Copies of this chain bind each other. A is one copy, B any other.
Amino acid sequence: MGPKIKFTREQIIDAAFEIARAEGTDNVTMRKIAHRMGSSVAPIYVNFKSINELIEALIEKIADIGQQLIAEENTGSPFADIGRASIRFAMEYSVLFRDLVMKNSRYLKGYDEKVMPALIEEMKKDSDLEGFSEDKLKEILLKMRIFQLGLSVMAASGILSKDYDMKDLTDLLSSTADDVILSARLK
C-alpha cells in the first residue's frame, strides 16, 4: 500500500552529515538536504517531525563516528587510543569537532563520565602506572584529558602550524603523558 520508498531515514541523515561536515550543523537546512538527495522536503518530514529532531539524530551520528574512530585505534591501551582518536577526529572532521565542542559539549561530557571509570581500571593494569593511588590516577587522567582536548582544539581550529601532522601530535601527546607520569612518580 503506497509507492516504494525512495528516501530512507538513513539517506537523509547521511545527506545532512555531508552538509554538516562541510558547513557545520548550523547550515544544515531542510531544502539543502532535499536538494542533495534530489528530492523535495516531503520525504524528510515523513521521517522527522522537525528540523530539531533531525539535527538531534545528526549529532548522534557524529558522536557515533567518534566512537568508530576510537574502535579503529586499537593498540591495546585505551588510554592512548582515545587520545589518538580524538586528534584524528579533530583533524579529519574539524568543522564537526568544533560544532561538537562548542554547541554540544554535553555529548563529550556524557561520554567522558561514562568512560572515565573504565579508563581508570585500564590504568590500574598498566605497568607504567603501577603503585599509584586511585586519586593520583584520576589526577593523571584529568590532566591528560585536558591536554588532549587542547591539542584537538588546536588541530581543529588551525591554530597550530600546518606543519604538524598526525604523528607530531600523537608524539606530543605521549611526551606530555610521560611528563605527567614521571612527575607524579617523583612526588
Q: Is the CB of B178 within 8 A of A183?
A: yes
Please state the number of chain copies in the assembly: 2
Q: Is the CB of B105 within 8 A of A158?
A: yes
Q: Report the interface size class on chain A.
A: 35 or more
Q: Is the CB of B154 within 8 A of A146?
A: yes
Known: A159-B112, A179-B143, A182-B182. A151 touches B153 (CB 8 A): no
Q: Is the CB of B157 within 8 A of A102?
A: yes
- A42 in the interface (beta carbon within 8 A): no
A147 vs B101: C-alpha distance when bound (angstroms): 16
User: Taking CB as reference atom, which chain B residue is nearest A99?
Assistant: B102
A58 vs B149: C-alpha distance when bound (angstroms): 27
Q: Is the CB of A186 within 8 A of B176?
A: no
- A124 in the interface (beta carbon within 8 A): no
- A145, A153, A179, A186: which has the most chain B beta carbons within 10 Å? A179
1/0 per position for A94-115, CB-CB distance to B under 8 A? 0000110111011011001000
Across the A-B interface, give the 8 residue pairs with the lowest CB-CB distance, nearest first: A150-B150, A179-B183, A105-B157, A149-B150, A146-B150, A102-B102, A98-B102, A109-B159
